[in-house]
Amino acid sequence: MDSSNGSSCLQKSVVKPRDLPQYGQKQWQSYFGRTFDVYTKLWKFQQQHRQVLDNRYGLKRWQIGEIASKIGQLYYHYYLRTSETSYLNEAFSFYSAIRQRSYYSQVNKEDRPELVVKKLRYYARFIVVCLLLNKMDVVKDLVKELSDEIEDYTHRFNTEDQVEWNLVLQEVAAFIEADPVMVLNDDNTIVITSNRLSETGAPLLEQGMIVGQLALADALIIGNCNNQVKFSELTIDMFRMLQALEREPMNLASQMNKPGMQESTEKPARRENPHKYLLYKPTFSQLYTFLAASFKELPANSVLLIYLSATGVFPSGRSDSEGPYDFGGVLTNSNRDIINGDAIHKRNQSYKEMHCLHPGDLYPFTRKPLFIIVDSSNSVAYKNFTNLFGQPLVCLLSPTAYPKALQDQSQRGSLFTLFLNNPLMAFLFVSGLSSMRRGLWEKCQDYLRKINRDIAQLLTHSRSIDQSFLQFFGDEFLRLLLTRFIFCSATMRMHKIFRQETRNYPESYPQLPRDETVENPHLQKHILELASILDVRNVFLENTLDDY
């Protein structure tokens, strides 16, 4: 038995997950099934014949580790394509076993740089999975080990990829540091929060609440913010929104089942998690391809969500007729140098930026229920929407600027998206708090849940709210996003440093009735009470009912 020939045959018999199209389930699911089947047989074969493989054919431990790493990678890619977080746990199980059993420990004794690169790639993939599972203690250990491995690799081999691996280290270190942390004074521990939807996450629909029956089925998460920290083509904003659209993962029994073999006819009508596409710096054609595929496969009574975290593109001047292409938009792909830092200003008014996504570009997709979140310096371009087809349509828009005291935080991710992902941590951040007692942390969490319940009542009891908001309110994920958006808007309107100008406030299309939602006295009282619990009431204004 020649191990190299066996490896070659294996590579020919399976398709690499990254080479398959991400869109169109029928195009990739059968390939995943066959690949899982091959690796299942291979894994069982090496378990059953380990002694013979060791003694007669000289099977090395790193070769077993490579098989386990491939299986972990399969589970991770299956998670990316199905959005089922339980497969993350399966990927973690295989990656963790490699580390615990030291499968790659002898690689450094081999005078083969390509084997060391396999080990480094394993570490990078393991770090991504641990980040997604919020296993920050493991992440820190892995980063230290990866740093040592890279130092040894660069010392032993004079290769061209030394700079690239050092950049990987810098990116993951910046990614870890980007999230604001809360230190509990009781034992000096750092709070590790999971921002996925839990059973107590979204406010429950109470009796008498009249809402729609739409369900969030698909989400496009798009990232292209200038200089924002990222790791593995995942910006910090994309990372936060990804978790806001997932439930807490459940542990599957660790076994080599073959999820890819599941026929499309066996799929439940409603997924446990909405299916997500993660698009980092997509070109316009790539973005439109994914949009069209998602639109085509959207089930009946379902919602497509589009999240845009991107640099703003502004019009250079006023045109005679202001249409959906005359207000600019957001830049999804930076194919040239950014002008003036954060925004693109076209010098020639007769041409428009090729990779700018304008509101008008999304009009064809408003034929089905559409929920849009725009986090950009030109988010207000999406106020100029027109609901042509009468389907439910909502746009949640970030502030277009932040107070000077917060502007230097842009590399660490947007404050607006942080509110949608972890509203308590965002509230503490704008209040200047980074430590507290454990009991106080838990008290604030409970009080925030009460605020969310009351916001839900404000929305459903409003007499003048646009019906689109209520149509989306039946879905747990969208309900949580809407209540967090209102909490974010109310907090910023009451906070003293945000009161300098109106562009510091989030907006929406259709516009929310301010007096019944973001400026409701009952909600303002809750925010002041939360501030009082934290002893930061002095940073908020008592009377915020002024007209703008």
Spell out the residues 6+ positions from residue 67 whose beta carbon is closer than 8 angstroms to its own.
Answer: 39, 42, 43, 46
Give the integer Cα–Cα distance in Å for 320 and 339.
26
Structure tokens at 336: 């040239």
Among left, alpha and beta (phi > 0; psi -120 to 50; other), residue 346 is beta
CA 530 to chain centre: 28
pLDDT at 16: 61
Longest dimension (CA), the chain: 83
pLDDT of amino acid 161: 83
| pLDDT given for residue 334 in this prediction | 79
Closest CA to 374 of 232, 224, 496, 502: 224
Beta-carbon contacts of 172 under 8 Å, excluding residues fewer than 6 positions away, are 124, 127, 139, 143, 146, 231
List, in sequence order, every residue forming a beta bridge with 275; answer none if it has no partner.
218
Secondary structure class of 205 (helix, strand, coil): coil
Q: Which H or E run contains 329? A: strand 329-331
Q: Contact 197/247 with Cβ under 8 angstroms?
A: yes
Whole-angstrom Cα Rg for the chain:
25
Q: How far apart are CA 248 and CA 268, in angstroms?
A: 19
**How many other C-beta atoms are found inside a 10 Å radius of the C-beta of residue 109?**
9
Reading the block at residue 89, the tokens are 């746990």
Question: Which secondary structure element, helix H or strand E, spans residue 190, and what is its range?
Answer: strand 189-190
Omega cis (within 30) before 510: yes
Angle at the Cα of 282 from the Cα atoms of 278 and 284, rounded to 5 degrees: 130
Cα torsion 342, 418, 495, 314 to 10°: value is 20
Neighbouring residues of 394: CB distance < 8 A, sequence distance ≥ 6? 370, 371, 372, 466, 468, 469, 472, 482, 508, 509, 510
8 Å CB contact between 161 and 139: no
CA distances from 83 to 236, 254, 272, 368, 500 (A): 18, 18, 9, 22, 41
Contact 29, 258 (CB under 8 A): no
pLDDT < 70 regions, the chain: 1-31, 53, 57-58, 186, 199-201, 208, 250-271, 317-321, 335-351, 543-548
| Cα distance between residue 402 and residue 232, in whole Å | 28
Residue (of 105, 128, 93, 102) closest to 252 by Cα position: 93
Question: What distances in angstroms separate CA 448 from CA 151, 202, 242, 514, one per listed residue?
Answer: 46, 11, 22, 20
538 Rama class: left (phi>0) / alpha (psi -120 to 50) / beta: alpha
pLDDT of residue 404: 83
Q: What is the pLDDT of residue 183?
A: 84
Quote the CA–CA distance of 166 and 400 in Å, as a whole number. Answer: 34
- Which pTM was predicted? 0.87
